[in-house]
Chains A and B, each alone.
Chain A
Amino acid sequence: MNTFEFFNQHFGRHLVSQEGEPYFAAYRALSSNHKLVKGTESRLASGWAIVRPSISSVQLKLAATGLRFDERTRIEAFMEEFEKWDGIEPRMFLMFDKAPIPLENLFLTVDRRLVRICSPAGVETFDINKAPTEESGGIQKAIWKRK
């Protein structure tokens, strides 16, 4: 299964129709407006999501039945996921912002030694078990600080 098929199967299909190529469906999920619980619509323009083979979590209060609303901060959510994760079944760690996450920044994480946090600004890659260096990104530094 490639990146987009995984994303659509466990996240995107709860938000948009799955017509056409998997990467178009993934693009629509990341860039379209979605209905919120309060009745208005919004893009995935803030918060975070963790895509799992079981039920995926998202911080935005979407009116999507197949996704779990989770109000933790992104650092809390990612950190606790790293602790619980078996390191075998794939995960996707997403951070949303004003601009949609470009498709080239979508990556599966399949190894605890090479975690990838996907955002519109880029992809932060690190080893969960290693201390951050000066060059490390903000998520790795924030998680390490809380350990």
Chain B
Amino acid sequence: MDGLLAALIFEQGGDLEKAHADIPLKNTNGLWHGSAAFFEKIDTEKKGFVANLHAGHDLDLDLVLKNKSGNVHRAIGLTRRRDYGAVFNSYRMYTANEITWYATGHREQIQSLLSEVEFIGKRRASGFGQVANLVIEDSDNDGVVGLFGEPLRPVPLEMFSGDKSSLRADAAWRPAYWHPMNRTVCYVPAQ
């Protein structure tokens, strides 16, 4: 939930620091009180996407490793298709009727951020993860530990007060979740 809200704040202002600091959720020692996404998958399949990277637009050659004479290893053309870098990415796609998150935070601000959302997820720009409806309800779950002591989100070992027999994994516990430096050994949800 915190990752989704941070992404929405970032889309509004383009300020990464602000996006990670202004999430309208309760925060305890850096841990946001927002759960992972819980859903019941009714179907799953693999989806592949091919992107042809136009070197002139998509690559900053200053960032590419150079050979001994100071040039890039292979001349990158800008006109012919064979000079483009074709990248194939495959994703596991789950079909679900609804997704549930648990959180403790500022209800109105969360509602305001989420009300404009039409698509969520990694391939939202390609039409996947369409949001049909949004409902916010009261809950006894705080977004960190469930009613039976189970973790509702990745929680670092030393910060977890729930059931210590829960699943453990090396996982990111704060946004940006894709960044490996935000990983540590955590108790994680079983889903």
Binding site for B on A (CB under 8 A): 2-4, 23, 90, 103-104, 106-111, 113-114, 116, 135
Task: Choose from A3, A103, A111 the contact partner of B168 (Cβ within 8 Å).
Answer: A111
Q: Are A116 and B170 in contact (CB under 8 A)?
A: yes
CB distance from B63 to the nearest CB of A (A): 14
Q: Are A108 and B185 in contact (CB under 8 A)?
A: yes
Q: Are B185 and A90 in contact (CB under 8 A)?
A: yes
Stretch of B5-13, B129-137, B175-183 at the chain-chain interface: B175-183
- Report if A113-B180 is in contact (Cβ < 8 Å); known contacts: A90-B185, A108-B185, A135-B44: no
B141 beta carbon closer than 8 Å to chain A: no
B167 beta carbon closer than 8 Å to chain A: yes
> What bracket does the count of chain B residues touching chain A fall in?
10 to 19
Q: Are A114 and B167 in contact (CB under 8 A)?
A: yes
B55 beta carbon closer than 8 Å to chain A: no
7 further interface pairs, Cβ-Cβ under 8 Å (given A4-B180, A107-B170, A114-B168): A2-B183, A23-B180, A90-B170, A107-B183, A109-B170, A111-B167, A114-B167
Residue among B92, B170, B178, B181 having the largest count of chain A Cβ atoms under 10 Å? B170
Give every chain B residue within 8 A of A3 (Cβ-Cβ).
170, 180, 183
Give every chain A residue within 8 A of B184 (Cβ-Cβ).
2
Q: Is the interface of B mostly helix, strand, loop or mixed?
A: strand
Binding site for A on B (CB under 8 A): 44, 92, 167-170, 178, 180-181, 183-185, 188
Task: Choose from A106, A109, A135 the contact partner of B180 (Cβ within 8 Å).
Answer: A106
CB distance from A130 to the nearest CB of B (A): 12
Residue among B180, B184, B185, B188 having the largest count of chain A Cβ atoms under 10 Å? B180
CA distance A23 to B183 in the complex (A): 12
Give every chain A residue within 8 A of B185 (Cβ-Cβ).
90, 108, 110
Q: Are B44 and A108 in contact (CB under 8 A)?
A: no
Give every chain B residue within 8 A of A2 (Cβ-Cβ).
181, 183-184
Q: Are A114 and B44 in contact (CB under 8 A)?
A: no
Give every chain B residue within 8 A of A111 (Cβ-Cβ).
167-169
Q: Are B170 and A108 in contact (CB under 8 A)?
A: yes
Can you list 16 pairs linking A and B with CB atoms under 8 Å apart? A2-B181, A2-B184, A3-B170, A3-B183, A4-B180, A23-B180, A103-B180, A104-B180, A107-B169, A107-B170, A108-B185, A110-B168, A110-B169, A111-B167, A111-B169, A114-B169
